[in-house]
Structure 1
Amino acid sequence: MEDHYPFSLPPLPYPYSALEPDISAKTLCFHHDKHFAAYIDGLNRLLEPCPAYHGWSLEQLVRDWAALPDEIRQGVRNNAGGAFNHDLYFHTLRALPSSAPLPPLDGAIRRDFGGLDGLRSAMKSAALSVFGSGWVFLCVSPDGGLTLQKTANQDAVPPLTPLLGCDVWEHAYYLQYQNRRADYFDAWWRLIDWPQVSEVYGRLLNSRPPVPQN
């Protein structure tokens, strides 16, 4: 995605049928081409008459939306968050077979959740507990620790860095799973691109400032 306005819809990283049977081509098409695109179009419309913010990155918009003028603040919060969250969502999925976390992420998951099964159980419980529409993110804190964060609507999580996010808006699953959010979560979990997520986590650890020595 572009670093600043005007933003455009990134292409889906795989064919629409690549995630079947867990996520159908029809669901993926509507989710990416309609819903994701609508957030990007809405964000561009809001920013068009505000050239002072054309140089802001998407991450800056989701982090600093409270500093925007009253007339665009909430709209940018909603649409920039939707664009940011969906870009993460689609880029952290891959076709079967299922993969597994790699070092150092696998060690961090064992440390903070007791293992992959513990993370899955905690994240699924969080996803099922979101009332209405929202997200559950696996995030990295500044010290490299892992934490789960729930957000409502399209709120994003900066200053924490999300590694992956489960979209529990009904548009992500209702065409295929109706009200069976738990079944959708299980399908989404099977499709996580753990090598990709592990690579991002490794880069984040390597980019942290060194810990001061006594």
Structure 2
Amino acid sequence: MSDYELPPLPYDYDALEPSISEQVLTWHHDTHHQGYVNGWNSAEETLAENRENGEFGSSPGAIGDVTHNGSGHILHDLFWKNMSPEGGDEPSGSLRDRIEEDFGSYEAWKGEFEAAAGAAGGWALLVYDSYSNQLRNVVVDKHDQGALWGSHAILALDVWEHSYYYDYGPARGDFVDAFFDVVDWDEPSARYEQAVELFE
């Protein structure tokens, strides 16, 4: 059984200011993200104990906790990595070309992604859909509701209220704008190349 741990942020807690404050980043990483790691580990322990004891009454709840907390951990890990204090540029290279091919233009992709972020009850994601071999934007509620089977996450934006309310109040759109000031496309580009290598 794996023992999941919270990885450190790839930058200092104040590195994304003013887009994301040091206070929000500290709470978000050290409390919320840590909670998903703890929840995943706890659920795995419950499942292991149930398998050993042959008692499965609590297993359905634990399985649900694995998907919720596991997805929360995975998406937060990507969220931190697709931002940096050196971010703010637009994508380039093969990922830029594919965005333009699948969405018509970068501006069309961004407009659709921002609309997804405004509607989501959890996350807006750019994913590679391995079934259709194309990029898509998806709206994911919580961490695990609305995901597309066979998709490979490329870019993640957390729009749970704990991500922005302290800094922006109810103005989620301002937070989404600020996110694009710190987006670092190196990680999404690498994830896109990985998906193409695996699925095309």
Please classify the TM superposition score into its range, dividing by the shorter chain length.
0.7 to 0.9
1:77 to 47, 67, 78: 67
SS of 2:138 mapped into structure 1:
strand
Contact 1:100-1:195 at 8 Å conserved across structures: no
Q: Which residue of 1 aligns with 2:142?
A: 153
Rounded Cα–Cα distance in structure 2 between residues aligned with 1:189 and 1:53: 45
Aligned amino acid, residue 155 of structure 1:
D
Question: Offset at 1:99?
Answer: 2.2
Shift of 1:52: 7.9
Q: Structure 2: which 5+ residue stretches go unaligned? A: 52-57
8 Å CA contact 1:27, 1:175 repeated in 2: yes
Matched, 1:180 2:180: no
Q: Which runs of 5+ in 1 are unaligned?
A: 55-67, 210-214
In the alignment, the residues of structure 1 paired with residue 36 and residue 79 of structure 2 have an alpha-carbon distance, to the nearest angstrom, of: 14
User: Could you tell me which of 4, 7, 29 is aligned with 2:4?
Assistant: 7
Alignment-derived partner of residue 115 in structure 1: 105
* Residues 23-62 of structure 1 mapped to structure 2, 5 A cutoff: 23-51=20-48
Give the Cα–Cα distance (whole angstroms) in 2 for the partners of residues 150 and 116 of structure 1.
19
Give how far 1:97 is off. 4.9
8 Å CA contact 1:127, 1:136 repeated in 2: yes
The residue number in structure 2 matching 1:204 is 195
Q: Secondary structure at the match of 1:137?
A: strand
Is residue 19–residue 96 contact of structure 1 (8 Å, CA) maintained in 2?
no
After TM superposition, give the deviation of residue 159 of structure 1 in Å. 2.1
Alpha-carbon distance, 1:78 to partner: 1.6
- Give identity over the alignment, percent: 31
Aligned residues: 191
Distance 1:203 1:190 in 2: 25
1:77-125 Cα offsets, whole Å, 9 max, x none, are: 2211111111111111111452221221011111122222211111111
Aligned position for 1:98:
88
Q: Secondary structure at the match of 2:140?
A: strand
CA contact (8 A) 2:129 2:135 kept: yes
Q: For the Cα contact (< 8 Å) 1:8–1:40, is it kept in 2? A: yes
Cα distance between partner residues in 2 of 1:155 and 1:74:
10
CA distance in 2 between partners of 1:97 and 1:183 (Å): 17
Greater mean alpha carbon deviation, residues 94-103 or residues 41-50: 94-103
Deviations 1:152-191 (A, max 9, x none): 1111635200101111100000110111100000011221
Range with bigger deviation, 20-29 or 197-206:
197-206
State the shift of 1:206 in Å. 2.2
Change (3 A) 1:71 1:29: same
Identify which of 116, 119, 125 aligns with 1:137: 125
| Structure-1 residue corresponding to 2:54 | none
Q: Which moved more, 1:91-100 or 1:102-111?
A: 91-100
Deviating more after overlay: 191-200 vs 22-31: 191-200
Contact 1:96 1:190 in 2 (8 A): no
RMSD: 2.1
Q: Give the Cα–Cα distance (whole angstroms) in 2 for the partners of residues 96 and 118 of structure 1.
A: 24
